[in-house]
């Protein structure tokens, strides 16, 4: 999955987080053309990329609606913020940015 396009990676993330186990397994076989051993390996090794923030279930559900509509994770996050679905603490973000420098 690492070498696939951002869109495929986002779609995979959506599937990974939203489908029930059996439904996910079927999609991994039929859509992503993976075999049983590849699915087992993915199950053991898949970690959400560092570019994806760790968010709660409710937040992930909001983001997944945008991703399902074709947005990347970052675009989904921007849209959710711009539409007021997420609140942003600018002072907190500024203090984090200052610490990085």
- Whether 1 is covered by a domain: the verdict is no
Please tell me the predicted confidence (pLDDT) of residue 9.
77
Residue 88 has pLDDT above 80, yes or no: no
- Whether 87 is covered by a domain: the verdict is yes
49 versus 4: the higher-pLDDT residue is 4
Q: What residues make up the domain containing 20?
A: 6-100
pLDDT digits (tens, 9 = 90+) for 10-55: 788 778 877 888 898 899 999 988 898 988 887 777 665 555 556 7
- The kind and range of the H/E element at 37 are helix 36-45
User: What is the spatial distance between Cα 88 and Cα 83, in angstroms, rounded to a whole number?
Assistant: 12
Number of domains making up the chain: 1
Query: Under a CB-based contact definition with an 8 Å cutoff, are residues 13 and 79 in contact?
Result: no
- Whether 84 is covered by a domain: the verdict is yes
- Which residue reads 């970690």 in tokens? 47
Backbone phi, then psi, for 40, in 5-degree steps?
A: -60, -45
- Whether 40 is covered by a domain: the verdict is yes
Tell which residue, 76, 83, 81, has the closest CA to residue 13: 76
Query: Under a CB-based contact definition with an 8 Å cutoff, are residues 27 and 19 in contact?
Result: yes
- Whether 15 is covered by a domain: the verdict is yes
The answer to whether the pTM exceeds 0.85 is no
Please tell me the predicted confidence (pLDDT) of residue 2.
44
Q: What are the residues whose beta carbons fall under 8 Å from the beta carbon of 54, sequence distance 6 or more? A: 48
């Amino acid at each position: 999955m690492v070498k696939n396009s951002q869109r495929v990676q986002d779609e995979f993330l959506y599937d990974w987080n939203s489908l029930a186990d059996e439904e996910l397994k079927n999609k991994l076989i039929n859509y992503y053309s993976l075999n049983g051993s590849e699915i087992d390996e993915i199950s053991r090794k898949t970690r959400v990329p560092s570019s994806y923030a760790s968010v709660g279930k409710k937040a992930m559900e909001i983001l997944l609606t945008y991703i399902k509509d074709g947005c990347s994770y970052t675009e989904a996050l921007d849209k959710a913020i711009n539409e007021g679905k997420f609140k942003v603490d600018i002072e907190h973000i500024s203090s984090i940015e200052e610490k990085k420098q």
